Amino acid sequence: MAAFIPPPLPSEDKRWKIVNGTMRKNGFARHALIETLHTVQSSFGYLDDDAIRFVAQSLRVPLSQAYGVVTFYHHFSLKPPGRHTLTVCAGTACYIKGADKLIAAAEERLGIAPGKTTADGEVSLMMARCVGACSRAPVALCDGEVHGEMTCRHLCEQLERWKAQ
Ligand code: FES
């Protein structure tokens, strides 16, 4: 049998690398389905058709099974998040460098908890485990773009920029 070659990442968005990392860590085994879908949910704030297809294809599970999981668990959302997504990395390296302060600042500024979207639909606040940029900790992803050595001030400035757009 020919070796299985996982499909290419859907886009350049760094968050796909995180999703891929979860699958790779599990050897692209089928039992990684729920964990991988969780990674998509926490990285992107929701799962769209492309994401579900990508995960199903990568793990070689029937698309219907992947959809079955997503619609069965209330934790998963098929609804798009806010116009912008702020993802704060809460992995060990980032945590040591003060990720908790970044999360607290974002929560206070946005008035929402991680995993939620502001009432006006502008910003979704997400948390990731490790985005693979530990040397630049603490890290936040602003619409998928990695920002290293993040400070509360920079984070608030980014939120202001989004507001002004
Ligand atoms: S722990 Fe944050 S990038 Fe690795």
| pLDDT tens string 41-94 | 988 888 988 899 999 999 999 998 998 898 888 778 887 678 998 989 999 999
Q: What are phi and psi of 24, to 5 degrees?
A: -65, -45
Tokens 């993040």: give the residue: 150
pLDDT at 162: 94
pTM recorded for the entire structure: 0.65
129-153 average pLDDT score? 89
For ligand 1, the distance from its centroid to the CA atom of residue 158, given in whole angstroms, is 20
For ligand 1, the distance from its centroid to the CA atom of residue 35, given in whole angstroms, is 18
Cβ 33 under 6 angstroms from ligand 1: no
Q: Which of 88, 100, 130 to mutate to test the pocket of ligand 1 (most atoms within 8 A of CB)?
A: 130
For ligand 1, the distance from its centroid to the CA atom of residue 92, given in whole angstroms, is 6
Nearest CA to ligand 1 atom 1: 91
Give the distance from CA 102 to its chain's centroid: 16
For ligand 1, the distance from its centroid to the CA atom of residue 141, given in whole angstroms, is 11
158-164 long-range Cβ contacts below 8 angstroms, 24+ apart: 158/86, 159/86, 159/106, 159/109, 159/110, 159/123, 162/83, 162/84, 162/122, 162/123, 163/122
